[in-house]
Amino acid sequence: MRCIRVLSRLGQQFDGQVLRLRSGDGRHRAQLQILEMNRSFIIILVTLLGMFMPVKAQGERSSGIIGRMDNVEIRVFREDELTTSGQLSEDGTITMPLIGSVRIQGLTTDQAAAAITRKLKDGYLVKPEVSVSIEARIRRTITVLGQAQRPGVFELPAHR
């Protein structure tokens, strides 16, 4: 807490990993070393939070490639009882009424809608109109620390 008070009273200038603090008349100088452990702890904390929190797609819903464990909504127009929303299973499938399990991981939303339309046409509906949207994406990140060539936080592709 004492360092925070010192920081608030003195002017600040960030210089790499060293903070140089100067008072208005230049007589008082203090140097604080930013500890690598603190920075690593913050990076790990942010990474862990990012791994376990679903990220809303831009806007309310989005299109794109459907990733494993993403939350999707499948809407069959004029057939409300067939509308389904939920999270894909580990194997990239979602279960729908009438047609059962459909694997849509790795497909675009348009391709997934076409695949579901084909299954619904196969003995269930005459001319189904299907739309698929991604409600929330699950982000997967890894953190590379230490003396690696490129340390940092990297996002894994969602569709694999």
| pLDDT tens string 134-148 | 998 877 778 888 888
pTM: 0.53
Residue 42 domain-assigned (yes or no): yes
Query: Do 87 and 133 sit in the same domain of this protein?
Result: yes
Rg (CA), the chain: 25
Predicted local distance difference test score (pLDDT) of residue 51: 67
Residue 85 inside a domain? The answer is yes
Q: Based on the domain organization, do 62 and 37 belong to the same domain? A: no
Q: Which of 86, 82, 93, 95 is nearest to 125 (CA)?
A: 82
Whether residues 110 and 69 share a domain: the answer is: yes
Look up residue 82 and give its DSSP letter: G
Measured from the Cβ of residue 72, the count of other Cβ atoms closer than 10 Å reads 23
Least reliable range by pLDDT among 61-70, 99-108, 139-148: 61-70
144 occurs within a structural domain: no
The pLDDT-based confidence of 156 (bands split at 50, 70, 90) is confident
Residues 73 and 118 both lie in one domain? yes
* Whether residues 119 and 60 fall in one domain: yes
Q: pLDDT digits over 6-60, tens only?
A: 444 444 444 444 455 544 444 444 444 444 556 666 777 777 776 666 554 444 4
Q: What is the pLDDT confidence band of residue 62, given thresholds at 50, 70 and 90?
A: low
Same domain, yes or no, for 109 and 119?
A: yes
- Is the same domain home to 20 and 73? no
If asked whether residues 36 and 66 sit together in one domain, one would say no
Residues 85 and 125 grouped into a single domain? yes
The average pLDDT across 121-128 equals: 89
What's the CATH number where 122 sits? 3.30.1950.10
Owning domain of residue 103? 56-138
Q: Is 112's pLDDT higher than 80?
A: yes
State the total domains in the chain: 2
**Average pLDDT taken over every residue of the chain:** 74
Phi then psi for 47, rounded to 5 degrees?
-65, -45
What does the block give as tokens for 49? 């939070």
Q: Are the C-beta atoms of residues 130 and 120 closer than 8 Å to each other?
A: yes
71 and 115, same structural domain? yes
